[in-house]
Amino acid sequence: MLLFKKQKNDLIPIKELKIDLERDLQTLTEQHLKDIFDLKFISSEFALHNFRIDTLAFDTESNAFAIIEYKRDRSFSIIDQGYSYLGLLLNNKADFILEYNEKTGSNLIRSKIDWSQSKVIFVANSYTTYQTNAINFQNLPIELWEARKYNDDIISYNQIKSSDTSESINVISKNTEIDKIAREVRTYSIDDHFPKGWEKGRDIFETLRVGVLLLDNRLEESPQKNYIGYKLNSKNIIELVARKNKIIVNLLRAQPKDVIDPEKKVYYQKNSFKNYHKHITEYEVNNSQDVIYAMSLIRQVYERYTYNKQ
């Protein structure tokens, strides 16, 4: 990637700088964890059973733990280390809950945690081809992120996406520990949201999906357990919830008064701010005519988020 700074009529190259220490990368990330990953910081250097987790975080949208590891040396195994950390988490749930409650002063209840959406995030300056190929599987709860530093105090975080996810890690792996973890932790796809018989809901979704993705090429589609999210700068701006014959559009960080709704068809999700720390307004899409109206609402929320930087 070529980066330049415009100076009068010239383009001045922006030079990449070396991040000297693994600890520097960790400190930088932890200080801005909400902005980068939209995660809640819990603790740094959490030690448990001969493991030391660099950063322990929590995803308040999926109600799941996230483990972040920083790597300067590129000679580590993505799969082996990733699943070792997941195994540590799943085999010691009470210790992680205790760490959360002690460090945040909250009272996280075990039954409120969605362990199936636990994940490990690796952050490094770069990865080998072998490492990037290691994430080319379905159902892999591991993310790779490149962090780079440039002059003029410019920092970039870029997620490495798999190029081919046709095969499931469950099929490939012969490791019993991975098989055990895979039964409890999983990632989700669009197909998971539309079982057989939900063809009408799927048709409505596909029409909406095209319109949403055309809003901004930076939008990232992110299927989760209960919804399909559309992220911008690591934050979902809307969620599409699948139903058999319709799609529910969740307009995030918006109350009914925040959108122009001449037909008075949106409704506020009661207790959304209490439960999810954000206002959520809903709109039901039952047919192709509703899609047009839905897109007008979605565009408003997108523009509100983009311009207000919420």
Among 94, 100, 2, which Cα is nearest to 59's? 100
Q: In the chain, which residues have pLDDT < 70? A: 1, 20-21, 163-175, 308-310
Amino acid 84: pLDDT: 93
Spatial distance between the Cα atoms of 145 and 70, rounded to a whole number of angstroms: 10
Amino acid 165: pLDDT: 59
Q: Is the backbone of residue 271 left (phi > 0), alpha (psi -120 to 50) or beta? A: left
Amino acid 201: pLDDT: 97
Amino acid 288: pLDDT: 86
Amino acid 171: pLDDT: 54
Q: What is the number of other CB atoms lying within 10 angstroms of the CB of residue 7?
A: 8
Domains of the chain: 4-182 (3.40.1350.10), 190-308 (3.90.1150)
For the segment 259-290, what is each residue's pLDDT rounded down to a tens digit? 999 999 999 999 888 877 789 999 999 998 89
Amino acid 179: pLDDT: 80
